Amino acid sequence: MTFYIHCEGVTDYAVIPVLMKKVLKTYDIDVKWVRRDELRKVKTHRKSNIKISGHYKLVKALATHSLIYGSKYIAYHQDADGKFTVVYDAIISEFKPLQENGFSCLAIVPKETVESWLLSDDSAYPSIPNDPKLPSEPEEIWGLKNDKNSNHPYNYFVRVLAQFGLPDNRDTYAQIAEKTCIEVLKRRCPESFSKFYADTESFFAKKASCDERKSPCKAIKGF
């Protein structure tokens, strides 16, 4: 199957499809990343009384892009950055009109960033991190991103990598994600990753059900 995903950045895209495939215990899915600059070029036609504010315009642009290529399967990622419930609920709200028109939609909202998920499993690193150690509750650490000594998940992750001489690039992110045990991640990040785990399973279960019915695609109302 092919589905289209919007991730905030290149390192997020290095992690999320890997974890998604590990959740499903299969690599037989085709994930297409649609970058923000591509989505901003997508033209959507909607009724004048429909208002979509802020960057959530990108949700509808992602659906339009996906439909152009014959797919109704989309996933949208945004880090929570201290507002997990608010961000998750906002994305779900934007999905509703799309789901009414036959789309299968997956919200991906790490609490607080994707680095939080990567700080869950000691065994994903060359040896057990000790300078610093991995946080006991990766979803709960926070701090100023522009302060390298803060406990912002990105800064904390960079310090963990530094003790092994690892760069904070997409290859390292992908390697850590590949070596992370899903069960450990669920246990250490019970709020957002457990939600991602359940939503991913549900997303693909609905996809399989739709395939069995072989329903033809329909145009999106208001586009």
Write down the pLDDT at residue 210.
59
pLDDT band at 51 (very low <50, low <70, confident <90, very high): very low
pLDDT band at 50 (very low <50, low <70, confident <90, very high): very low
| Confidence check: pLDDT of 23 > 50 | yes
Tens-digit pLDDT profile for residues 162-203? 999 999 999 999 999 999 999 999 999 999 999 999 999 999
Mean per-residue pLDDT over the chain, rounded: 89
Tens-digit pLDDT profile for residues 115-137? 999 999 999 999 999 999 999 99
* Percent of the chain clearing pLDDT 90 (strictly above): 79
Q: What angle do CA 169, 171, 175 make, to 5 degrees?
A: 120
Predicted structure pTM score: 0.88
Write down the pLDDT at residue 209.
60
**Cβ–Cβ under 8 Å, residues 189 and 138:** yes
Write down the pLDDT at residue 49.
39
In the chain the domains, ranked by start, together with CATH numbers, are 2-112+189-213 (3.40.50), 114-186 (no CATH)
Helix (H, G, I), strand (E, B) or coil at 108: strand
Q: Where is average pLDDT lowest: 15-29, 37-51, 160-174, 176-190?
A: 37-51
Cα distance between residue 197 and residue 193, in whole Å: 6
> What is the rounded (10 degree) CA torsion for 19, 124, 144, 106?
10
pLDDT band at 57 (very low <50, low <70, confident <90, very high): confident
